[in-house]
């Protein structure tokens, strides 16, 4: 029976025609397992996951394996991007049991959803010390049939152990100078001074840590913090992690030098990095940072925007290499012969020098990932731009990677914030319009009348899965950015509605936050993870949005909730700074105030008002909030009782209940917001 055909998840739809009798995650699936007295196979992945596709082709499309599964198991397929709560709970079990995790995630459960055997990818035949998937199935079936009591005892113990792993939230004091200095010292120890970034291979873009470093520099003047941020951004942008033709970043680098990426492109990575590079330009004026921020924004709009105005989740790593085989990186890599075919011999030689394409190759089968290993200044700019354009156009004729068209609320919130700010900084109203379009979609399709969010949508249809904490927090973050950039107070109102949900449904009496709402579907435990991973955790994202909303409105409950949430940064920041970067960035905003900027003028289109507004947005003070409007405006509490000085557009800057003298001078305003 094809139970996946009507799902909104592209990942589930990829499996809809498997011979495996898949169920979506549902009470009915577990009822079926009880009725048949068989265990549940839980398989978790996502659409752009390379090894998920490999295991599907090797095992789930194999009729014999499927027949064995269908007879002895109930098989449940989950998209981790649609159900991050299910993924988090069972991934925690996998990591606790095996010391590692990843996708595809393969977990065997009792009919009560209690896990008892774990793994990730299993090959079709035994290799490298791993059993085959069929051997695993046979072993699990035999254990279930012959040692049921032992299996259920193990499952019960695992669930009890997980329940005991709840985050010990006892310190509600906010982090101060000492904790942030210790975090910076910890990052310095892990920093790679030769290559940029932190740690060894594989190397992930440290987006949230970079935001912390930029904010720390803005607040303290630390040149070391700025140097780590600037050098890491340059190395990433000049390496193969960055798409030198089309803009945008791949998921991570498989090596320490940022040369060979894992080629999938995720919306959240590009939204976060677009914002980082825009903020780096704001702090330093770097031409490279400006180019990368704009190219990444253009990539998101060009290749990820959906017909409904939202942004798709990801582009696959794999694509057809022209022979019918799906090969990782096929769309992006080049050989010298391919360059010559497009450019002719002379320009091909220059392109090879410029992009680091060699006869030996830097990837597989003599192909190279394009990089910028040399200074651009030694090449003729017009000729290089012509080469880039022709290669980009030629590449567009290759079979393109698949796109996951699922719109995830949280990641769209991150994209809204990035595009709104980048558009405002660089006078690109088209980018601001794209941010507004995505914001409209989130309100129209993802929010209901009670301001409850749907996690995903696809093709204009909201999915059935409830939003989790990161959805409420990141969408609120996006709406707050839109409010500051557009001067439209309705976005502040929408952010307030979402943050009201955070306070009432995701926060307990101690101030601790949970990833799922109190009234959400009950799993074997309520997931709670304050650490940042590929994107800000729901916990730290909520702290940031609550703090910004409190600065805009003076709402004391939101300020108090933000401060209490930041207690986790006091505990974890000095110990594991790489994994709580956004929390550290929010703590920087708290220590700085954050500053509140009100711009009052005769109209939003008045040139002098627009100059003050843009100056305020370009201020580097960590987490500063901006409100702009006319004296008659009642949409922003910050504008209350603010009047133009001597009839001229005027800026007011306040923090910690103390205000500077109002100013009509953009340069004076710039200095007031520069640390």
pLDDT, one tens digit per residue, over 129-138 is 788 999 999 9
User: Rounded to the nearest 10 degrees, what angle do helices 538-553 and 469-486 cross at?
Assistant: 40
Per the structure, the complete domain to which residue 431 belongs is given by 179-316+404-592
Question: Is 322 a domain residue?
Answer: no
Residues 236/280, Cβ–Cβ less than 8 Å: no
The β-bridge partners of 44 are 78, 105
Query: 63 and 120 share a domain?
Result: yes
Q: Which bin fits 197, alpha (ψ -120 to 50), beta or left (φ > 0)? A: left
Mean pLDDT of 408-432: 98
Query: 92 and 220 share a domain?
Result: no
Better-predicted residue by pLDDT, 407 or 164: 407
Question: Could you give the number of structural domains in the chain?
Answer: 4
Write out the two tokens for 188. Answer: 């310095």
Query: 80 and 156 share a domain?
Result: yes
What share of the chain in percent tops pLDDT 90? 82
Question: Is 326 a domain residue?
Answer: no
Residue 642 has pLDDT above 70, yes or no: yes
Question: Is 450 a domain residue?
Answer: yes
pLDDT (tens digit per residue) in 554-600: 999 999 999 999 999 999 999 999 999 999 999 999 999 999 999 99
Query: 600 by DSSP, 3-state: which?
Result: strand
What pLDDT was estimated at residue 94? Answer: 83
The torsion defined by the Cα of 37, 39, 45 and 50, in degrees rounded to 10, comes to: -120
pLDDT (tens digit per residue) in 617-637: 999 999 999 999 998 888 999
pLDDT (tens digit per residue) in 240-297: 999 999 999 999 999 999 999 999 999 999 999 999 999 999 999 999 999 999 999 9
Largest CA distance in the chain: 88
- How many CB atoms sit inside 10 A of residue 518's CB? 11
Mean pLDDT of 407-420: 98
What pLDDT was estimated at residue 102? Answer: 85
* 123-132 contacts, C-beta under 8 A, 24 or more apart: 123/58, 124/58, 124/59, 124/62, 124/65
User: Rounded to the nearest 10 degrees, what angle do helices 409-425 and 429-441 cross at?
Assistant: 160
Question: Is 3 a domain residue?
Answer: no
Query: 675 by DSSP, 3-state: which?
Result: coil
Question: Is 506 a domain residue?
Answer: yes
What pLDDT was estimated at residue 343? Answer: 96
- Among 363, 397, 431, the domain-final residue is 397
Number of alpha carbons in the 13 Å side-chain half-sphere of residue 400: 14
Query: 277 and 307 share a domain?
Result: yes
What pLDDT was estimated at residue 165? Answer: 67
Query: 371 and 226 share a domain?
Result: no
Query: 415 and 527 share a domain?
Result: yes
What pLDDT was estimated at residue 168? Answer: 59
Query: 354 and 390 share a domain?
Result: yes
Query: 552 and 657 share a domain?
Result: no
pLDDT (tens digit per residue) in 565-578: 999 999 999 999 99
- Burial label, 533 (beta-carbon count in 10 A; 0-12, 13-18, 19+): exposed
Residue 172 has pLDDT above 70, yes or no: no
What pLDDT was estimated at residue 456? Answer: 96
Query: 115 and 152 share a domain?
Result: yes
Model confidence at 656, in pLDDT bands (50, 70, 90)?
Answer: confident
Phi then psi for 576, rounded to 5 degrees? -135, 65
Residue 213 has pLDDT above 70, yes or no: yes
What pLDDT was estimated at residue 466? Answer: 96
Residue 163 has pLDDT above 90, yes or no: no
pLDDT (tens digit per residue) in 62-77: 999 999 999 999 999 9
Query: 654 and 668 share a domain?
Result: yes
Write out the two tokens for 445. Answer: 């399709």
The most confident of 113-127, 171-185, 222-236, by mean pLDDT? 222-236
* 143-146 contacts, C-beta under 8 A, 24 or more apart: 143/117, 144/38, 144/39
Query: 558 and 430 share a domain?
Result: yes
CA angle (208 as vertex; 207, 209 as ends), nearest 5 = 95
What pLDDT was estimated at residue 170? Answer: 52
**Any idea which residue has 């914002």 for tokens?**
275
Model confidence at 504, in pLDDT bands (50, 70, 90)?
Answer: very high
Query: 449 and 510 share a domain?
Result: yes
- How many CB atoms sit inside 10 A of residue 221's CB? 10
User: For all residues of the chain together, what is the average pLDDT?
Assistant: 94
């Amino acid at each position: 029976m094809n139970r996946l055909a009507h799902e909104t998840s592209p990942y589930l739809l990829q499996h809809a025609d498997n011979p495996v009798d898949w169920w979506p995650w549902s009470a009915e699936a577990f009822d079926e397992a009880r009725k048949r007295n068989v265990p549940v196979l839980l398989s978790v992945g996502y659409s752009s996951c390379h090894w998920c596709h490999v295991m599907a082709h090797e095992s789930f499309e194999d009729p014999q394996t499927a027949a064995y599964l269908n007879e002895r198991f109930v098989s449940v397929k989950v998209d981790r991007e649609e159900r991050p709560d299910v993924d988090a709970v069972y991934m925690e079990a996998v990591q606790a049991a095996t010391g590692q995790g990843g996708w595809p995630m393969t977990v065997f459960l009792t009919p009560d959803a209690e896990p008892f055997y774990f793994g990730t990818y299993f090959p079709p035949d035994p290799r490298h010390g791993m059993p085959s998937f069929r051997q695993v199935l046979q072993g699990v079936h035999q254990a279930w049939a012959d040692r049921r009591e032992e299996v259920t005892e193990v499952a019960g113990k695992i669930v009890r152990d997980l329940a005991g792993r709840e985050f010990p939230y006892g310190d509600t004091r906010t982090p101060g100078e000492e904790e942030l200095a210790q975090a910076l010292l910890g990052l310095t120890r892990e920093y790679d001074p030769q290559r940029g970034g932190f740690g060894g291979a594989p190397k992930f873009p440290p987006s949230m840590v970079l935001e912390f470093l930029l904010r720390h520099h803005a607040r303290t003047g630390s040149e070391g913090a700025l140097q780590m941020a600037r050098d890491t951004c340059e190395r990433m942008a000049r390496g193969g992690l960055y798409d030198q033709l089309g803009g945008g970043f791949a998921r991570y680098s498989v090596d320490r030098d940022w040369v060979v990426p894992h080629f999938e492109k995720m919306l959240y990575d590009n939204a976060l990095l677009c914002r980082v590079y825009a903020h780096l330009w704001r702090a330093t004026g770097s031409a490279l940072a400006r180019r990368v921020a704009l190219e990444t924004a253009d990539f998101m709009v060009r290749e990820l925007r959906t017909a409904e105005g939202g942004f798709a989740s990801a582009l696959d790593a794999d694509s057809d290499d022209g022979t019918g085989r799906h090969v990782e990186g096929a769309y992006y890599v080049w050989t010298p012969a391919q360059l010559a075919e497009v450019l002719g011999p002379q320009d091909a030689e220059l392109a090879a020098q410029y992009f680091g394409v060699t006869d030996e190759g830097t990837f597989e089968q003599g192909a190279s990932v394009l990089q910028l290993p040399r200074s651009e200044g030694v090449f003729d700019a017009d000729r290089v731009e012509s080469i880039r354009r022709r290669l980009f156009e030629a590449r567009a004729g290759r079979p393109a990677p698949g796109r996951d068209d699922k719109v995830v609320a949280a990641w769209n919130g991150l994209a809204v914030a990035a595009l709104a700010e980048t558009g405002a900084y660089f006078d690109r109203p088209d980018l601001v319009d794209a941010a507004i379009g995505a914001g409209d979609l989130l309100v129209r399709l993802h929010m209901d009348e009670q301001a409850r969010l749907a996690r995903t949508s696809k093709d204009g249809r909201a999915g059935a899965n409830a939003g989790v904490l990161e959805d409420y927090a990141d969408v609120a973050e996006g709406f707050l950015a839109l409010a500051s950039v557009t001067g439209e107070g309705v976005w502040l109102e929408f952010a307030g509605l979402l943050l009201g949900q955070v306070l009432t449904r995701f926060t307990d009496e101690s101030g601790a936050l949970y990833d799922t709402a109190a009234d959400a579907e009950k799993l074997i435990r309520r997931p709670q993870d304050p650490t940042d991973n590929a994107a800000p955790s729901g916990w730290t994202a909520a702290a940031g949005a609550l703090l910004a909303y409190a600065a805009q409105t003076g709402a004391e409950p939101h300020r108090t909730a933000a401060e209490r949430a930041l207690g986790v940064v006091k505990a974890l920041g000095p110990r594991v700074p790489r994994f709580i970067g956004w929390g550290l960035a929010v703590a920087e905003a708290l220590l700085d105030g954050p500053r509140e900027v009100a711009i009052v003028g005769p109209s939003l289109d008045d040139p002098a008002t627009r100059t003050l507004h843009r100056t305020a947005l370009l201020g580097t003070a960590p987490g500063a909030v901006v409100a702009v409007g006319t004296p008659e405006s009642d949409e922003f509490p910050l504008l209350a009782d603010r009047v133009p000085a001597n009839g001229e557009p005027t800026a007011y800057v306040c923090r910690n209940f103390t205000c500077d003298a109002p100013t009509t001078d953009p340069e004076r305003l710039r200095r007031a917001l520069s640390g």
